[in-house]
Amino acid sequence: MRKLLLAGNWKMNKNVAESVELAQTLVEKLKGITDKDILICPTFTALSEVSKVIKGTNIALGAQNMYFEKNGAFTGEISPDMLKSAGCSHVILGHSERRQIFNETDEMVNKKALLALEEGLIPVVCIGETLEQREAGEALGVVETQLRGSLNNIVGDDILKVIVAYEPVWAIGTGKTATPVEAEEVHAYIRKIFSDIFGSKNAEIIRILYGGSVKPDNSAELMGQKDIDGALIGGAALKAEAFEQIIKVAK
């Protein structure tokens, strides 16, 4: 049985003081929850302070991105070692906004995932199609290409540390959500492709999250699907009550 993971991606929101305040509220609201894993991903500037707030609690800390080199002359970038020293255990890679706005490719996401694993971070690898691709009937093909490209050359037990997040680009921040049936179709396909590449046993272990306008009023039905193992939550994760509600109704 795969344990649900509810991850909050705060994106470019909340300064350090606001992030600490939200983290403190979440610690109080979510204490005692042990049947699900909880992850929050603040901005880089808030990581260290939020880490202090959630240390020793049931909430893990993740970053929203990292670079694929360990160090060097890469102005404005951040390394896995820096993230670990700030308290991170997870890192989101290849989010649709990174792919769309900053032109990240599967190859870049793959290099980041390989380095994250090498450095002891758990990568949350994001994949998903645009509205044009879905309307053209290309959704499954796009997702397969991204999955294969982003997870290339990951071998052995490392693959079991990877978390996949399916986030249809057309449902990110638009208020539109894939129906539970639409989401489950893609999640089941991702698990099938994963099985083809890494074996059926590993495919049953890996967690596949859904991301795309997840809210308290749609999360229970989404999380109830066979191949949906949690959620990558954006806007609703910025409100403690909404994030709490999503986590508590998820089964």
Express each pLDDT in 10-64 by its tens digit. 999 999 999 999 999 999 999 999 999 999 999 999 999 999 999 999 999 999 9
Indicate whether 81 pLDDT > 80.
yes
Q: Are 119 and 85 in contact (CB under 8 A)?
A: no
Task: Say yes or no to pLDDT of 172 above 90.
Answer: no
Q: How many CB atoms lie within 10 A of CB 32?
A: 6
Sorted by where each begins, the domain ranges of the chain are 5-249
Q: With bands split at pLDDT 50, 70 and 90, how would you rate the model's confidence at 176?
A: confident
Of 95, 104, 129, 184, the catalytic one is 95
Q: Which of these is catalytic: 167, 184, 187, 244?
A: 167
* pLDDT given for residue 122 in this prediction: 99
Average of per-residue pLDDT across 67-93: 99
Residue 95 annotated as catalytic: yes
Give the separation between CA 114 and CA 120, rounded to whole angstroms.
10
Q: What is the pLDDT of residue 244?
A: 98
Query: Which pLDDT band holds residue 177 (cuts at 50, 70, 90)?
Result: confident
Close Cβ partners of 103 (under 8 Å, ≥ 6 residues apart): none
CA 247/CA 216 separation, integer angstroms: 9
Whether domain 5-249 has CATH 3.20.20.70: the reply is yes
pLDDT in tens, 100-143: 999 999 999 999 999 999 999 999 999 999 988 998 999 999 99
Upper half-sphere CA count for residue 250 (Cβ side, 13 Å)? 32
pTM: 0.96
Residue 171 has pLDDT above 90, yes or no: no
Q: Is 90 annotated as catalytic?
A: no
pLDDT mean across residues, the chain: 96
Cβ–Cβ under 8 Å, residues 171 and 133: no
